[in-house]
Amino acid sequence: MGIRVSQETLIQQLELCECPERAELAWHQLLLNGTLPQSIGGGVGQSRLCQFMLRCAHIGECQYGFYDPNEVEVLKKAGVPLLGRGYSGEFDDPNAATGGL
């Protein structure tokens, strides 16, 4: 389960879809410059089911992840604890906005 895309495959897919400009998007850039691993994801359906069963307001309450710092701040103010941190441009930024843990 999950997504497996190498840099070469992503470029080929963008060319086939006639949308090479998407290579400039954030996720695409992270994959193309080697910041993201080739395999990500998996278990998204399970997390959504857990979110529903636990009556969570946000997927981040039952799934660790990186979230928009603005969204993290809004959720913090609303008392919603997240199992992750805000994405600030670098995955290893220790000063990124944090949630629950």
Q: Is the dihedral of CA 75, 93, 45, 13 positive or negative?
A: positive
Say if residue 50 is in the same domain as residue 81. yes
- The number of domains in the chain is 2
Say if residue 69 is in the same domain as residue 56. yes
Closest by CA to 83, choosing from 35, 47, 45, is: 47
Residue 58 lies inside a defined structural domain of this protein = yes
For the segment 32-53, the average pLDDT, to the nearest whole number, is 77
Tell me 3's DSSP state.
Answer: E
- Cα–Cα distance for residue pair 89/75, rounded to 1 Å: 20
Say if residue 29 is in the same domain as residue 62. no
The domain of 28 spans 3-40
Residue 99 lies inside a defined structural domain of this protein = no
Say if residue 7 is in the same domain as residue 28. yes
Residue 57 lies inside a defined structural domain of this protein = yes
pLDDT digits (tens, 9 = 90+) for 50-101: 889 999 999 889 888 878 888 888 988 999 988 877 655 444 444 444 444 4
- Cα–Cα distance for residue pair 56/60, rounded to 1 Å: 9
Say if residue 82 is in the same domain as residue 62. yes
